[in-house]
Each structure stands twice: as structure tokens, then as C-alpha cells.
Homo-oligomer: A and B are copies of this chain.
Amino acid sequence: MATAIEQSAGAARSAGLKLAAMTAKAKNSALIQIRDSLKANAEKIISANQADIAHARQENLAESLLKRLKFDSKKLQDVCDGIDSLINLDDPVGKTLDATELDDGLELYKVSCPLGVIGIIFESRPDALVQISTLCLKSGNAVLLKGGSEAINTNKILAEIILQASVDAGMPAGWIQLLETRQDVAEMLKLDKYVDLIIPRGSNEFVRHIMDNTNIAVLGHADGICHVYVHSDAQIDMAVKIAVDSKTQYVAVCNAAETLLVHKDIAGKFLPAVAKVLSEKGVELRGCKKTRKIIKAAAAGETDWRTEYLDSIISIRVVDSLDEAIDHINEYGSHHTDAIVCTDSKAAAKFMEMVDSADVFWNASTRFSDGYRFGLGAEVGISTNKIHARGPVGLEGLVIYKWKLIGSGQTVAEYADGRKKFKHKKLNKTFNI
């Protein structure tokens, strides 16, 4: 007997198959209708959100969480702007990625297509529901959504509006489904038969929990332990600027730097300079022994190298060589974003080659690691996976491809017995029948 969640997932799978065949025009019309319907229902949405906020206040939710929970007319405008820019992006589906003439009248095409069903689990922010479900629609994927329970009223009305508007515009009914309980999520994590990818959005513990409890592929990152390494030949001013921006431009995000590595030959000059600016900005310094011989700092150790502070704290370590810096990053980092500041292009090339991270930067702040800054148009998430999609992921992370072969009656026997031979000639052609 199928559970309710299995039924929802099965319905999403069927809807996804239909969505896969929708044209870019049809999907964009649905996005327009969603945007307009969200605007038309602004009052309803905001009052549902006020109910959530009132309830959250009763429950003494922290002020920072209340802020994330809030969905006002400003947030509504933001998500509608997001939909507008999404409409203007190229359809990621139906792109010919490769074409080969295997033989006369036997043409092979590699064509992009949706993944199928995406499971999205996010903590309180209701704007994430709109953003992520429209990304799924644009890329032709059905979606199972579970938001934070604090936002239940807001999420319900948003999902209803998106569903109704998209179905009115001709999309298949089952493509978006809201899960309601943690039990639902636990069940979904087992449905590898129906769900092709899980995207969790939330704290490290939350993401780590999801990753550890499913054998469905997970796109995301748990930790963001990013480093800035200042090499012996760095320009001091540039190194200070980059270190300070990487740490302080926004401390509560995954691409903020947590550890500063400094080559011993430049530590005497660089550390006092950077310490001055960081201290002025209220950043707590924690340093290794060698660091503390040069500047005043609390003691840093093993735990610090493995900690994502997400706060105005930075750990500092003096290293003997570029190799030691690379080893430190590969050992203690989270394979997210790491930067080197140096003049020598050979040192930069080695760093970018040997540091096993999604984003490796030379003379730029770690904070650039972001889908919008990278010019991807939309950001599905930042992945520290080694497969499928890595670093900031745009719509292309929500598609895969299939192989379409157009023949005229060919059989393998003819090639196996030598009557025919493969040509394997690359074609500069898009799939079109």
C-alpha cells in the first residue's frame, strides 16, 4: 500500500514527465501568470505571514529567525523581480550538447532534459519557496517542497497560488506538492525511485542531517570553511583588502573566510597591518603560536581550523610554504572557496590546481563565490559535491541529458559482422525532427 508521500511523489513523477515536454513559451507564460497572481494576492499572502509571525512571537522565536520568516511587500517585490529575470533566461531544456553521425542515416544527439522530481527542504524563509519552485518550473522539473513549520501559513498560500496560476496556464496539476511534517521529509528521503535530487537549504547541521539520511543525490554544502592564503610575495595592501572583505563584508554566510593563512616571510609585515583593520571592524583574532609572537590574539588550535564561525572571529596560522598552505586547506577546509593573494603566477597556478575546492581564487575576495556574481542568472545553490554540479549552480544543475538516436532501420549485427563500419563524424547540428 503506497503511503500518502509515495502517492504525492508518484503524482509528481507523472507531472514531471509531462512538464519535460512543455515548450519554453508555455513555461514562461506560466511564470508570468504566477508572478501576476502573487501580486494580485499580496494582501492574502501578507496576512497569512502575519499569522505566522504572531505565532512565532508567542513561541519566542529568536529575532534573527523572525526576520527570515517575514514576507512583506518588499519581499514579494523581490521574488517577482526574480521571476522576471528567470523568464528572460534561456530555456535550459532541449539544448543539443553534442551531435555525431554514427553512419549514413544514423545520427546521435545528446540533448538536455529535466531531471524529473526535485525534493527541496528549506528552513524558515518563505521567499525560498517561490524562488526554488519557479526555478524548477523553468527547468521542467516537478518539485516536492517542505518549508519550516513556523512558516506553514505563508508556505501554504504561496504554494496554492503557484499551483493554481500554473495549472491555469496549462501546466500539469501534480508538478508542485507541499509536504507538511518532518515525517513526510523522512519518507521522501527514502523515495529514490521517484525523487532525482534533494536540495536542502538551511544551517550546516540541517544540511548534514539530510546528507547523512538519504541515498538520493544531494546538491548543497554543509560547511563553508573558506581560507585566504597570503603568499610571501603578496602586495600587503591588496592582501589586507581581500582578507578584510572575505571576513567582514558579510560574516554570516558560507563564502566568508574563517581562516587566514600567512607565509612566514611576510607575516611580520602583513599581520600587524591586517590585525589593525580587522580589530577596528570588531573582529576577534585567534592565532597560532607564531602569529601570537607578532600580533596580539587569542590562542587558536585544531578546533579553530575546523570551525565555521559565521561570526566576527577569524583564525590565523603562519605557514612555512605554499605547500603547507595547500595541505592545510585540503585537510581542514570544506572544499568550498579558497583564495590566494600573490604576485607569482606559478604559485597562483599551483594553488588553483592543487586546492581541492569548488572555487579557487587568485587575488580576489572569497565573497565572489555566488551565482549572481558569477553571472549565472539564477542560483540554485552552492555545491561542494564532486559530481554533477560544483560551486555556485545555475539552472544547468537542474537538468541532465538524454541520448536521442535517429536511425533508418540499422541493426548492430551489420556492424558486428563487418558489413558496415561506423563513421563517428561530429556534426554541427541541433536536434530537430
Name A residues whose Cβ lies closer than 8 Å to a Cβ of B.
17-18, 20-21, 100, 102, 106, 108, 115-116, 196-197, 211-212, 214-215, 217, 235, 237-238, 241-242, 244-245, 249-250, 330, 345, 348-350, 352-354, 356-365, 367-369, 373-375, 385-388, 390-392, 400-413, 415-416, 422, 424, 433
By beta carbon, the residue of chain B nearest A361 is B405
**What's the Cα separation between A412 and B407 when bound, in Å?**
52
B368 with A412: CB separation less than 8 A: yes
Chosen A-B contacts, 13 in total, with CB atoms closer than 8 Å, are A21-B350, A115-B387, A196-B386, A197-B387, A249-B413, A361-B407, A362-B405, A363-B407, A368-B412, A387-B387, A388-B388, A388-B400, A390-B401
B116 with A363: CB separation less than 8 A: no
User: Smallest distance from the beta carbon of A229 to chain B beta carbons, Å?
Assistant: 14
A108 with B374: CB separation less than 8 A: yes
Residues on the B chain within 8 Å of A197, using CB? 386-387
- Closest 6 pairs between A and B when the two form their complex, measured CB to CB: A364-B407, A245-B411, A375-B424, A367-B412, A238-B409, A196-B386
Residues on the B chain within 8 Å of A405, using CB? 359-362, 364, 368
Among A197, A235, A349, A363, which residue has the most Cβ atoms of chain B within 10 A? A363
Residues on the B chain within 8 Å of A357, using CB? 402
User: Smallest distance from the beta carbon of A227 to chain B beta carbons, Å?
Assistant: 14
Residues on the B chain within 8 Å of A400, using CB? 386-388, 390
Residues on the B chain within 8 Å of A375, using CB? 100, 102, 108, 422, 424
Residues on the B chain within 8 Å of A361, using CB? 404-407
How many copies, total? 2
**What's the Cα separation between A175 and B364 when bound, in Å?**
33
A102 with B374: CB separation less than 8 A: yes
Contact A404 to B360, CB < 8 A, known contacts A374-B102, A416-B249 = yes
By beta carbon, the residue of chain B nearest A363 is B407
Contact A360 to B402, CB < 8 A, known contacts A116-B386, A354-B17, A386-B196 = yes
A388 with B390: CB separation less than 8 A: no
**What's the Cα separation between A362 and B362 when bound, in Å?**
49
Contact A21 to B354, CB < 8 A, known contacts A245-B413, A373-B102 = yes
A353 with B20: CB separation less than 8 A: yes
**What's the Cα separation between A217 and B108 when bound, in Å?**
27
A241 with B364: CB separation less than 8 A: no
Residues on the B chain within 8 Å of A211, using CB? 215
B362 with A406: CB separation less than 8 A: yes
Residues on the B chain within 8 Å of A115, using CB? 386-387
Residues on the B chain within 8 Å of A410, using CB? 363-365, 368
**What's the Cα separation between A100 and B217 when bound, in Å?**
29
Besides the contacts A217-B217, A361-B405, what 4 more A-B pairs have beta carbons closer than 8 Å? A102-B375, A116-B356, A359-B402, A362-B407
Q: Pick the residue among B349, B354, B409 that contacts A20 (CB under 8 A).
A: B354
Contact A365 to B402, CB < 8 A, known contacts A17-B356, A102-B375, A356-B116 = no
Contact A411 to B367, CB < 8 A, known contacts A116-B386, A196-B387, A374-B108 = yes
